[in-house]
Structure 1
Amino acid sequence: MKKVFTTVLLFVTTITFAQDQYTKGMQKAFQLWGEGKASEASNMFERISNAEMDNWLPYYYVAQINTIASFGEKDKEKLTQQLEKAQEFIDLAKAISPDNPEILVQQAMTHTAWIAFDGATYGMTLSGKVVALYAKAETLAPDNPRVVFSQAEWNMGSAKYFGQDTAPYCKDVERSLELFANFKPESDFHPNWGKDRAEMVAENCNK
């Protein structure tokens, strides 16, 4: 009986230690990102993913950091390197958590970064995929504020590109703000971004 108790205690202690290391690692990665050290943060999330192989979150953040860094990037070689890495980690995240609306939004954003870089080259092949991704995410999580807002922002960008009115999508942005106000992430590390940008877009809608 004593041996069984010792084994259980050791197991619980090991799990607790691993969880503590995960928490510290994620906190450090977010701290680095907040300090503008995106590359270091990405590397930290990647190291965490190597230890947390059944957890989609660190993979997701590697993809997100590399995607965000690619918007506005003019160097095609650097952009390609970043977006290929983002795609690699999206694929890994999807393998762990299929049909995850947060990952679908991230995939759409990565495609959008390619389109933003060269619409003539990538728009024809990727625009339809972005529309399909947002449609699927909306079906899975119609009340997820990032799904609602990101889809609205994509629709606004498409409307601008084709010289159409963006006003019809302002109501979706406003709806996303209502959803952001009531949204509670599953943990401190689950996606919880987008409210600030939605507020900025909503403000421009009202001008």
Structure 2
Amino acid sequence: MKNQFYLFFLLATLSLSPVLAQTAYDKGMQKAFTLWQEGKEVDAANLFERIAQAEMDNWLPHYYVSTINTIHSFGIKDEKQLMQQLQKAQEYLDIAKRLSPDNAEILVQQAMINTAYIAYDGQTYGMTLSGKNTQLYSKALQLDPENPRVILSKAEWDMGSARYFGKDTAPYCADVEKAIGLFSTFKPAEKYAPSYGEERAKQVLEACKS
């Protein structure tokens, strides 16, 4: 599971225009994405943290600190380590929420944190967080109905829920296909905003066909 989520998030905004004003912020963000792409997740997260401390009014570096810490919590067996990592993810996401309210990307990231808890201990966290995730994905879809990541993330959550209850996942494959179509035209609202997910969507759709 950890590898699946890693692939989903790793293809972050490296499709940006190669011609960028080389501010300190730009240099830092590009370096952090490069470190992440190279598999140096700890270094990338640490750099995003430093950028977040310098960019207190910018939700994006806070969002990426939360994202990386969440992704790499999947598969952790030690409860103390897991809680520390997810608490940091939540701390930075809470800042991002204050800086950018009603942001569909942030709602999806909150659902990912909840999913990490459920993946670790479904009996403890499933009852309380599953319903919250359903609400988060529904609100994200209302806020940004043409965002392919929102559609894909909601579809994957719905598929997981269907599998858990022994139901057919096929109805959600159409949503994944819709997301793939939207990736070709989707434009991030601002520089460094998330633009990843197409390859993950293709993997999920291929699994639908098998």
TM-score, with structure 1 as normaliser:
0.89
- The CA deviation string for residues 30-65 of structure 1, in whole angstroms up to 9 with x for no partner, is 111111111111110010011111110000000000
Residue 60 of structure 1 pairs with residue 63 of structure 2: yes
Identify which of 26, 29, 32 aligns with 1:29: 32
For residue 51 of structure 1, what is the aligned residue in structure 2? 54
Q: Distance in 2 between matches of 1:81 and 1:37?
A: 19
Identify which of 166, 169, 172 aligns with 2:169: 166
Q: Distance in 1 between matches of 2:22 and 2:87?
A: 30
For residue 89 of structure 1, what is the aligned residue in structure 2? 92
Residue 76 of structure 1 pairs with residue 79 of structure 2: yes
Q: Distance in 1 between matches of 2:24 and 2:121?
A: 41
Residue type at the aligned position of 1:165: D
Residue type at the aligned position of 1:50: Q
Deviation at 1:76, TM superposition (A): 1.4
Residue type at the aligned position of 2:105: E
Between Structure 1 and Structure 2, the one with more helix by share is 1
For residue 6 of structure 2, what is the aligned residue in structure 1? none
Structure 2 spans left out of the alignment, 5+ residues = 1-20
Residue type at the aligned position of 1:94: K
Deviation at 1:188, TM superposition (A): 4.3
For residue 3 of structure 1, what is the aligned residue in structure 2? none
* Structure 1 residues 1-207: aligned runs within 5 Å: 20-207=23-210
Q: How many residues align?
A: 190
Q: Which deviates the most, 183-192 or 32-41? A: 183-192
Structure 1 spans left out of the alignment, 5+ residues = 1-17
TM-score, with structure 2 as normaliser:
0.88
> Which aligned segments of 4 or more residues in structure 1 are displaced greater than 4 angstroms?
none
Q: Distance in 1 between matches of 2:139 and 2:102?
A: 8
Q: SS state of the match for residue 182, structure 1?
A: coil
Q: Distance in 1 between matches of 2:125 and 2:116?
A: 10
Residue type at the aligned position of 1:149: L
- The CA deviation string for residues 110-137 of structure 1, in whole angstroms up to 9 with x for no partner, is 1011101111110001001100000100
Deviation at 1:19, TM superposition (A): 6.8
Deviation at 1:186, TM superposition (A): 3.0
For residue 4 of structure 1, what is the aligned residue in structure 2? none
Using the aligned pairs only, state the percent identity.
64
Larger of the two Rg values belongs to structure = 1
Q: Supply the RMSD in Å over aligned alpha carbons.
A: 1.2
Q: Which deviates the most, 182-191 or 28-37? A: 182-191
Residue type at the aligned position of 1:111: N
Residue type at the aligned position of 1:145: P
Q: Distance in 1 between matches of 2:59 and 2:188?
A: 15
